[in-house]
Structure 1
Amino acid sequence: MNAVVTAVSSNGEYSFSKPNRESITLLAGLGVDGDVHAGVTVKHRSRVAQDPTQPNLRQVHLIHEELFREVGGAGFRVAPGELGENITTRGIDLLGLPVGTLLHIGDEAVVEVTGLRNPCLQIDNFQQGLLKQVVGRGADGNVVRKAGIMGIVREGGVVRPGDAIRVTVPDGPHRPLERV
């Protein structure tokens, strides 16, 4: 199966979910044009409170559409944009990518993968019990986060549903994704 964008979403105001759009524009070094989380330094409120000068490693949030089917098996209904992602994908194991992977999206955009989204309690405010579906413990006892990945924009461009995604994995040794 080819990797593809299935939806794009953005919001200029702080809210948990983001409305779907016909397209979004990625801006190099900043994120999604017009999105509240765009910027060189952190924009997530909890991180701003800790240190507003931190670099923004969370400019773009991507979630794999396959997660929606997985949580659907536990009785949850989730649609693209509802978990706050900017880009919803299909056909790519986002969670299995190493740090530094480049995602070439559409004709121009390039997103560098920085780490995992750390799911927060807002997910349970959206749908009670959903947090346990997207974060838990693996057989080894380690925390498993499934609520998507974060990245920074290396090359800007317009991204639309239907755009192909090409993956360039960095030379090894690979670092597994950690929360950012």
Structure 2
Amino acid sequence: MAVIEALCISTHRGTQKEQVAAAVFVPDWGIEGDAHAGHWHRQVSLLASEQIEAFRARGADVGPGAFGENMVVRGIDFARLPVGTRLQSGTVLLELTQIGKECHQHCTIYQAVGDCIMPRQGVFAKVLEGGTLHVGDELVVVQQAGKRPYQAAVITLSDKGSHGERHDESGPALAACLREAGYDVVETLLLADEAGPLQQHLRRLADQRQVDLILTTGGTGLSPRDITPEATLAVADKQVPGISEALRAASLAITPRAMLSRGVSVIRKKTLIINFPGSTKACREYWAIVADVLPHGLDILRGTGGDCGR
């Protein structure tokens, strides 16, 4: 049995959270009165008390709320749970949305000790159903019936679009295709043609948000600024060349310029990443080619699908 050992809130971001005896959880918002509540995916943060104790044993003088966590729970190893896991206590129902987080500006704990466990062990959740929780309440992992929808993200690469000089339609078009096919599109991003930020977001979406599929659009041509394939390969664990080969082959029947596309398809952890061209028309055509095949591949990555033989 897992038990809530502490509930913590802060009225301002960047400040240590203070313990409270009870907290009101608001659906699609977070904890009432907490600065991190809002209409986003990191509404509530959780940390295992065992991790805090282990960190304290290394000489760190830390207590509940020191790492910015809302809930300290004993009995659940949160970092081992996949995104999409649901947790319930009373009427409150949470769904994990992110495992760990990047620490861009090291906190006071890191500066004092040289380490911080939140980027590795902290998890984040959104509130599906609300209510009031108290210290000492039980928290359980909910077994879900049925298949969880695939989660996807779309990244548009465009210098002009990111600078507001042009309205890019390819990203929204891909997001619409995904939603029509039943995917849960958790993020859409518009970035300049820069390798560093693209690699950072690909790693974050695959490692922390654990999305099933990332589609990029743009940056696959011959221009010196077209760096999407190289940035994608830089974060890859494996390549899936058959997808991009099939896309180019099918697209060649439409236009001979398809041979100039350098898009790649790769796997990072359990996330499939596919580069699409920057053309809205081409994006829709590419999606039509792969739409029926992708679910089988995504199920294999999830560990729920069989082999590809017939």
TM-score interval, normalised by the smaller of the two chains: 0.7 to 0.9
Larger mean Cα displacement after TM superposition, 56-65 or 15-24: 15-24
Q: Distance in 2 between matches of 1:134 and 1:24?
A: 24
The yes-or-no answer on 1:112 pairing with 2:95 is yes
Q: Which letter does structure 2 place at the counterpart of 1:151?
A: A
- Would you say the 8 A contact 1:25–1:156 is kept in 2? yes
Cα distance, 1:159 vs structure 2: 1.3
After superposition, the CA RMSD in angstroms is 2.5
Q: Indicate the SS of the match to 1:61.
A: strand
Q: Indicate how the Cα distance of structure 1 residues 131 and 90 shifts in structure 2: closer, same or farther if over 3 A, else same.
A: farther
Larger mean Cα displacement after TM superposition, 123-132 or 28-37: 123-132
Cα distance, 1:57 vs structure 2: 0.9
Give 1:85's aligned residue.
69
Please report the TM-score for the alignment, with normalisation by the length of structure 1.
0.75
Cα distance, 1:179 vs structure 2: 2.1
The yes-or-no answer on 1:57 pairing with 2:56 is no
Q: Distance in 2 between matches of 1:88 and 1:74?
A: 19
Q: Indicate how the Cα distance of structure 1 residues 32 and 178 shifts in structure 2: closer, same or farther if over 3 A, else same.
A: farther
Cα distance, 1:27 vs structure 2: 0.4
Give 1:72's aligned residue.
56
Q: Which letter does structure 2 place at the counterpart of 1:37?
A: H
Higher helix share: 2
Cα distance, 1:147 vs structure 2: 3.5
Cα distance, 1:131 vs structure 2: 5.3
- Per-residue Cα deviation, 1:43-70 (whole angstroms, up to 9, x for no partner): xxxxxxxxxxxxx110000000111121
Give 2:11's aligned residue.
12
Q: Distance in 2 between matches of 1:149 and 1:8?
A: 15
What is the aligned length? Answer: 153
Q: Indicate the SS of the match to 2:28.
A: coil
Cα distance, 1:128 vs structure 2: 2.4
- Would you say the 8 A contact 2:78–2:121 is kept in 1? no
- Would you say the 8 A contact 1:11–1:18 is kept in 2? yes
Bigger radius of gyration among the two: 2
Cα distance, 1:132 vs structure 2: 2.9
Q: Indicate the SS of the match to 1:150.
A: strand
Q: Indicate how the Cα distance of structure 1 residues 123 and 147 shifts in structure 2: closer, same or farther if over 3 A, else same.
A: farther
Identity of aligned residues (%): 29
The yes-or-no answer on 1:128 pairing with 2:111 is yes
Give 1:24's aligned residue.
23
- Would you say the 8 A contact 1:124–1:130 is kept in 2? no
Q: Indicate how the Cα distance of structure 1 residues 73 and 116 shifts in structure 2: closer, same or farther if over 3 A, else same.
A: same
- Per-residue Cα deviation, 1:73-132 (whole angstroms, up to 9, x for no partner): 321122111111111100111111111111002x11011011113152555423525453
Q: Indicate how the Cα distance of structure 1 residues 88 and 122 shifts in structure 2: closer, same or farther if over 3 A, else same.
A: farther
Q: Indicate the SS of the match to 2:140.
A: strand
User: Relative CO higher for 1 or 2, CA cutoff 8 Å, sep ≥ 6?
Assistant: 1
Q: Which letter does structure 2 place at the counterpart of 1:108?
A: T
Q: Distance in 2 between matches of 1:130 and 1:98?
A: 29
- Would you say the 8 A contact 1:115–1:151 is kept in 2? yes
Q: Distance in 2 between matches of 1:74 and 1:39?
A: 35
- Per-residue Cα deviation, 1:118-151 (whole angstroms, up to 9, x for no partner): 152555423525453527xxxxxxxxx4241000
Residue segments in structure 2 that go unaligned for 5+ positions in a row: 152-205, 210-310
Please report the TM-score for the alignment, with normalisation by the length of structure 2.
0.45
